[in-house]
Amino acid sequence: MGFGILQHKKLHKIALLVVFLVVSNFLTLKSNSNSILHLLHTNDSLIKVTWNKFVKAILGKDFTTFKKMSTPCIHCPWCVRNTKKEDSLFKSYKFPDEKTRYEHLYSDLCFIPIDRFVIEDYPIIFTKKVRTRMKNKSNFVFTNIIDFPKLYSKPCIIEKPNATLLYPIEVLLIDVKASSGNEGKRIAFAFIQVDGQYKFCGFSTEP
């Protein structure tokens, strides 16, 4: 009788352990699925066609097509300080209120006119390494931007912007693969819909 009770308790513990592992696995999968948002079905083919054309323009150094596929200015906080000279200028610039230095960076200074972007930032961003990685489709993933659509709701990006109609999407390109002790690095290209077509409007790095 005692042996039967022990067996019953053992089976009960095993059952609880199995339930715990199943629930834990489910929560982990749910967390992971939320970290990369899936595209809306209606936008899937359009952005992929746009991205392929975008990559082709970059690989072919077709600046005319690149500019046509871009908005008049590009949201790029990274571009404000991507050289030692610019970083030094940013640090030495006397803002009206030093407490709002980074507020100015993200609300004003980071919107780079496309012509300036092509001349100053394009060569730094689209290096030989990045262009090589852009050739491999396994290096990038498409995600919906739901947290900061208002970043691109600026007149210099789109005339009479409406944040609810921009449908911003990011293409994340793996720049450095994650490994033990290294979380990796991704660069993000943002696109919004303008007259039914996606246009490049933002660049950032993660992390």
Residue 30: predicted pLDDT: 35
pLDDT of residue 116: 93
pLDDT band at 151 (very low <50, low <70, confident <90, very high): confident
Q: What single letter denotes the amino acid at residue 69? A: M
Where do the structural domains in the chain lie, given as residue ranges? 39-206
* φ, ψ (nearest 5 deg) of residue 127: -75, 175
Distance CA 156, CA 71 (A): 8
**Residue 187 pairs with which residues in a beta bridge?**
173, 205
| Span 143-161, average pLDDT | 80
Q: What is the pTM of this model?
A: 0.71
For tokens 């980071």, the residue is 110
SS (H, E, C) the chain: CHHHHHHHHHHHHHHHHHHHHHHHHHHHHHHHHHHCCCCCHHHHHHHHHHHHHHHHHHHCCCHHHHHHCEEEEEECHHHHCCCHHHHHHHHHCCCCCHHHHHHHHHHHHCEEEHHHHHHHHHHHHCCHHHHHHHCCHHHEEEEECCCCHHHHCCCCCCCCCCHHHCCCEEEEEEEECCECCECCEEEEEEEEEECCEEEEEEEEEEC
Phi, psi of 42 (to 5 degrees): -70, -25
What is the model's pLDDT at position 185? 83
Topology (CATH level 3) of domain 39-206: Nuclear Transport Factor 2; Chain: A, (3.10.450)
Answer for the pair 185, 166: CB distance below 8 angstroms, yes or no.
Answer: no
- pLDDT at residue 124 greater than cutoff 80: yes
User: 1-15, 82-96, 177-191: which range is least confident on average?
Assistant: 1-15
Q: Phi first, then psi: what are they for 172, rounded to 5°? A: -95, 120
Q: Name the least confident of 20-24, 79-83, 123-127, 203-207.
A: 20-24
Average pLDDT estimate for 69-89 = 85
- CA distance linking residue 94 with residue 35, whole number of Å: 38
